[in-house]
A = this chain, B = another copy of it.
Amino acid sequence: MKKKKVTFEDIAKYTNFSKTTISRYFNNPDSLTLENQEIIARALKELNYQENKVGRILASGKTEFVGIIIPDLYFHYYSEMLNQLLATYETYGYKFLVFAGSSHPDVERRYIRELLAYNIEGMIVLSHTISSEELASYGIPIVTIEREDRCTCSVNTDNYMGAVQACSLLYRNKCDVLIHINGDIAPEIPSRARINGFLDFCREHQIAHEWVLKDLSIDYEETSKILLEVVDYLNQKYPERKKGIFMPNDTHANVLLNVLVRKYGTLPPDYRIIGFDNSPISREAIIPTSTVGQQIETIAASAMELLVSRMNEQKKRKPSPLSEPIHRVISPVLIPRETCDFAG
């Protein structure tokens, strides 16, 4: 069982053509006689030829590789995004080299160097670790998703609009006071707009509101404890008032919901809740939870479309100094469920 791989050379000998012709058979078949195409096709079968793209890369410079750097696969948001990015293989044929980020800048720089060593044609970055300025400096097309994007192309959810939709739903649910529980987020991070949208909406509509400044972690028990305290605080501060709580994501909305249900046996009528993301947990919670749905498939498709157009520019034109960053914004979709009274 010799593992000697069959090459164009072998096909050429076998068919009495030249390597060039074999190459053409793959890249420009129409330039061959139909007859000869069939001869070669047959030879490929008979010799059981296995395509080898490494040679092609070296000769053509095109790897059809795209690098992905994603911070984590814990949150469903990220794994679904990766899922949808990978799915674009069917559309564009780009293969994905994936690194799950480590939030250590130097480690991620090693990832990037490694990706560059394989001549990736472009990169999609979801990790927050490296500044967009540095990313841009690597000189290859890059699209970032939902992170700081001053110097890179990006696709983000319209977080501001999402927050406004969420608040609007709580408002229509006759909530007396709107609450947002979230850490302080740097202004350059897109999801910061959720806070801004919340604040602006409440001010514009002159609704009593409060941004409860709490950093909520990934740890369930810890978050649970914090949110229980927040509930006590809210009960004390806003007794007899209907509280509309806008949580920054569905995972934490679920923790809050559980805290309330475990405390009161059900979601008390003076609490309305809405989360963000439309993660599975929002449907699988003890009470199906209203949420602002991110259109992950659209975001992923849009990111790849943008990246592909950039990569094509790089190939065709000569100098093309990687024009101004393009920022795309995808509208979220309001999904009212049982943690609000009704959609209207």
Contacts and interface: CB of A to CB of B under 8 A. Distances in A.
A213 interface: no
Interface in A30-68: 50-55, 57-58, 63
Contacts of A3: 139
Given A52-B119, A55-B58, A254-B284, A86 B98 contact: yes
A208 interface: no
Interface of A: 1, 3, 50-55, 57-58, 63, 72-74, 76, 79-80, 82-83, 86-87, 89, 95-100, 113-114, 116-119, 139, 220, 251, 254-255, 258, 261-262, 265-266, 280-281, 283-286, 319, 321
6 contacts: A51-B113, A53-B118, A73-B79, A74-B80, A281-B281, A285-B286
A1 B322 CA distance: 11
Contacts of A281: 281, 284
Contacts of A220: 280, 283-284
Contacts of A251: 284
Contact of A54 (B63, B73, B261, B286): B63
Given A63-B54, A262-B286, A100 B118 contact: no
Copies of this protein chain in the complex: 2
A266 B264 CA distance: 11
B1 A319 contact: yes
Given A63-B54, A220-B284, A95 B114 contact: yes
A26 B251 CA distance: 47
Contacts of A285: 258, 286
Contact of A50 (B83, B116, B319): B116
B286 A261 contact: yes
A316 to B, nearest CB: 13
Nearest to A98: B98
Given A58-B58, A96-B97, A255-B284, 15 more contacts: A50-B116, A50-B117, A54-B54, A54-B63, A54-B119, A74-B79, A76-B76, A76-B79, A79-B79, A86-B98, A86-B100, A95-B97, A220-B284, A258-B284, A286-B286
Contacts of A98: 86, 96, 98
Contact of A117 (B53, B118, B283): B53
Nearest to A96: B98
A313 to B, nearest CB: 13
A251 to B, nearest CB: 7
A118 B64 CA distance: 11
Nearest to A97: B95
Nearest to A321: B1
- For the complex of A and B, list the 9 residue pairs with the smallest distance between their C-beta atoms, beginning with the closest: A79-B79, A286-B286, A73-B83, A51-B117, A86-B100, A73-B79, A53-B117, A98-B98, A220-B283
Nearest to A258: B286
Given A58-B55, A118-B95, A119-B52, A100 B83 contact: yes
A319 to B, nearest CB: 7
Nearest to A139: B3
Contacts of A116: 50-51
A97 B80 CA distance: 17
A118 B286 contact: no
Contacts of A96: 97-98
